[in-house]
Structure 1
């Protein structure tokens, strides 16, 4: 889900506009809950976002994916070789993403968004990792994959439900956002503008020296 949100919010103008709206929603709805509950929640809660909690397990699960990916990008064989400063920066970014994800879910709840069980079932059955050699959904493959990555079927269903809500909310907002005409004109002018440049080449060997420079001229130069 983090990867999906990152591409949606970064790789398109509509996504960036939607990100601004989500940020404003975060400021207006959730930031008070986040900071008022920081440090006052139970020992199993890092941040309380409205009625939703971010637990150490949530953060550890997200870091277990992001740290190896960062190490690979830096050419390191193992995430343990990452500098401490880099690990802290990644942890802050991951926690920030988790807060935004929970704010998106709260916004979906406020909007009355509900995901039918049949839609979740279709999403799970369409995941290639759960297909056998014949390309069909295989319950044994599902159980094996979930065991390997250490999540339960209940957690998988929750993740799929939240992903559908996030896509429905963000894509709907992104489709309704329109860029200002002045911005579109500038972008079009930048891409479509053409200039002609004439270049005159003067070979150094073709030049002639009328007279040797004086010491005063050399010093001035």
Structure 2
């Protein structure tokens, strides 16, 4: 099978499909809005299509997986910040491209091989290490999957793996890439730290009155500030409003005659009298 796949992958049509497969990751990852339309099809590669329901299910599954990793339910804004929507588009586009290539190459998977792959999945094995039919149904039910849908999807994944393994067989990664991945995966950090708690600190006693008084005397200047008062006033004097040139002597005389009673002071006399009962 691998020999046939290698030969098929060398054809011009297969190479074009593989190039489109790689390009789909970049295109869908840049902007999913470029392919928005009113139909139910989200992704179309040849005869392979992905419906909006399939996309919604894959998106929800990806969000649930990320939420379990972070230990909290991601909001729509957080999922968008992580680029989950673009990731799901890229995965679905790549899967559709591989499915189309598999269909063009007439690749398939036997029922026995498919059953063996499902039975070998650790997620469906019991404590004894054997396939558990009840555990299989329970896991799919908890994931919101029907058995037929899961089996169909598992078959597609297995066929896709055949294509990927065949095209990647014999590929040797550059040493720089291997060293970078190895350094990333197995990199360690040594941390030296000192832990200080209240138990390492001698308790500070409450100061007595003498200590507080002495401290206040040395620092009281820092708490003093001059006292200020603010006020508003209008300065107005007779000279500011009086116009001497506009008052005549007759007006002064007339005003005096009218007010002269207020300027008069009645005359007074002091009398001393001695009284005797008889002369």
2:37 paired residue among 36, 39, 47 = 39
1:60 paired with 2:56, answer yes
**Partner residue in 2 for 1:49:** 45
Question: Which of the pair is proportionally richer in helix?
Answer: 1
**Partner residue in 2 for 1:79:** 74
Q: Identify unmatched segments of 5+ residues in structure 2.
A: 1-14, 28-34, 179-279
Query: How many residues matched?
Result: 159
Matches of 2:68 and 2:127 in 1, distance apart? 30
Q: Which runs of 4+ in 1 moved over 6 A?
A: none
2:116 paired residue among 86, 100, 122 = 122
How far apart are 1:27 and its partner, in Å? 8.0
Cα 1:70–1:157 shift into 2, 3 Å = closer
Match runs of 1:195-214 below 5 Å: none
Matches of 2:145 and 2:68 in 1, distance apart? 24
Cα 1:132–1:48 shift into 2, 3 Å = same
Tell me the secondary structure at the aligned position of residue 44 of structure 2.
strand
What's the TM-score once normalised by structure 2's chain length? 0.47
Conservation of the 8 A alpha-carbon contact between 2:44 and 2:96: no
How far apart are 1:70 and its partner, in Å? 3.9
Q: Identify unmatched segments of 5+ residues in structure 1.
A: 1-19, 32-36, 189-221
Match runs of 1:84-123 below 5 Å: 85-86=80-81, 89-123=83-117
Cα 1:38–1:119 shift into 2, 3 Å = same
**Deviations for 1:136-156, whole angstroms, at most 9, x for unmatched residues?**
222221111111111111111
Matches of 1:50 and 1:131 in 2, distance apart? 38
